[in-house]
């Protein structure tokens, strides 16, 4: 597939509930959104930011491509859909890159792109859990897949359940995977899922991707060995400054 048929879109809004303005927060001389953009450009030829805020728009316009979108979107998926319709109607795939992961590894994006053969509807990444705290945390989304690598379920609870074993032994008994929240959508599928209504399992877990599974769409899960670090709070920002001091 030609690379210009795959477009990377970075949804970015200013009014984050837990950390307003985080897209514009600085890490070693660059904003979070600029770092995400630059990392994505190392893997893709066509990358843009989709925002609903003039401050972010004006900032990104100084170094890259940016589009203004509606303030009414409920998710990054819906924001990507608007940009697809207005700016990239002939693209074959859209990759939704999280705007709060300034150190996303370009290899993660390349891994995701490797499966986009025209047949895959949706794709995402997963990584082996090795830390017990991550296994327990409801803030770390888990995923389990079938033998062909398609997601069976996503949950904030540890899955699979290991019968007859204490929770502290689960990582020794079975492989547990965490979801890495970067998505690829085939363009026709993005048009379809963007108009779906909320579903029961989605409401229970507060996970948008369950809406797609409940409606019969298939999500290919590829493994990555690279860690990612999202910035959700000011405390996360300070940790990132230390971890990536070099």
pLDDT tens per residue, range 9-25: 999 999 876 788 899 99
* Domain co-membership, 123 together with 83: no
pLDDT at 232 > cutoff 90:
no
* Placement of tokens 């490797």 in the chain: 114
pLDDT at 1 > cutoff 60:
no
- Calpha distance 187→6 (Å, rounded): 9
Q: Which helix (H) or strand (E) holds 12?
A: strand 6-12
pTM of the model: 0.93
pLDDT at 3 > cutoff 50:
no
The token pair that represents 37 in the structure block:
């953009």
Distance of CA 146 to the CA centre of its chain: 21
What total of structural domains would you count in the chain? 2
Expressed as residue numbers, the domain containing 150 is: 119-179+195-227
Q: Which residues pair with 179 in a beta bridge?
A: 126
Inter-residue contact 210 to 122 (CB < 8 Å):
no
* pLDDT over 70 percentage in the chain: 97
Question: 171 in a domain, yes or no?
Answer: yes
Q: Give residue 15's pLDDT.
A: 82
Task: Taking residues 190-208, report their average pLDDT.
Answer: 97
pLDDT at 246 > cutoff 70:
no
Question: 187 in a domain, yes or no?
Answer: no
- On the CB side of 66, how many CA atoms lie within 13 Å of its CA? 22
pLDDT at 4 > cutoff 60:
no
Higher-pLDDT residue of 2 and 167 is: 167
pLDDT at 110 > cutoff 80:
yes
Give the torsion through C-alpha atoms of 155, 158, 159, 160, to 10 deg. Answer: -160
pLDDT at 171 > cutoff 50:
yes
Q: How confident is the model at residue 124 (pLDDT cuts 50, 70, 90)?
A: very high
The token pair that represents 77 in the structure block:
């998926």
* Domain co-membership, 71 together with 87: yes
Question: 188 in a domain, yes or no?
Answer: no
* Placement of tokens 């945390």 in the chain: 137
Provide CB contacts within 8 A for 172, sequence distance 6+. Answer: none
Read off the CATH number of the domain in which 208 is found: 3.90.550.10
Q: Give residue 225's pLDDT.
A: 95
Q: Give residue 2's pLDDT.
A: 43
Rounded to a whole number of angstroms, the CA Rg of the chain reads: 18
């Amino acid at each position: 597939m030609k690379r210009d048929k795959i477009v990377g879109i970075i949804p970015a809004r200013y009014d984050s509930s837990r950390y307003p303005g985080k897209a514009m927060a600085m890490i070693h001389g660059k904003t979070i959104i600029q770092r995400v953009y630059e990392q994505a450009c190392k893997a893709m030829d066509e990358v843009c930011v989709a925002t609903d805020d003039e401050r972010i728009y004006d900032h990104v316009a100084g170094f890259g491509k940016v589009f203004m979108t509606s303030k009414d979107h409920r998710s990054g998926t819906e924001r990507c859909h608007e940009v697809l319709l207005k700016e990239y109607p002939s693209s074959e795939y859209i990759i939704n890159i999280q705007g709060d992961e300034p150190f996303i590894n370009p290899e993660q994006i390349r891994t995701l792109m490797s499966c986009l053969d025209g047949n895959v509807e949706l794709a995402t990444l997963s990584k082996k859990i090795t830390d017990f705290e991550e296994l327990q945390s409801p803030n770390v989304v888990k995923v389990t897949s079938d033998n062909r690598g398609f997601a069976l379920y996503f949950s904030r609870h540890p899955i699979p359940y290991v019968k007859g074993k204490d929770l502290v032994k689960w990582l020794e008994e079975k492989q547990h995977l965490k979801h890495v929240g970067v998505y690829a959508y085939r363009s026709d599928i993005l048009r379809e899922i963007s108009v779906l209504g909320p579903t029961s399992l989605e409401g229970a877990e507060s996970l948008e991707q369950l809406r797609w599974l409940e409606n019969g769409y298939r999500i290919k899960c590829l493994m990555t060995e690279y860690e990612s670090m999202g910035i959700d709070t000011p405390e996360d920002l300070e940790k990132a400054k230390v971890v990536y001091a070099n």
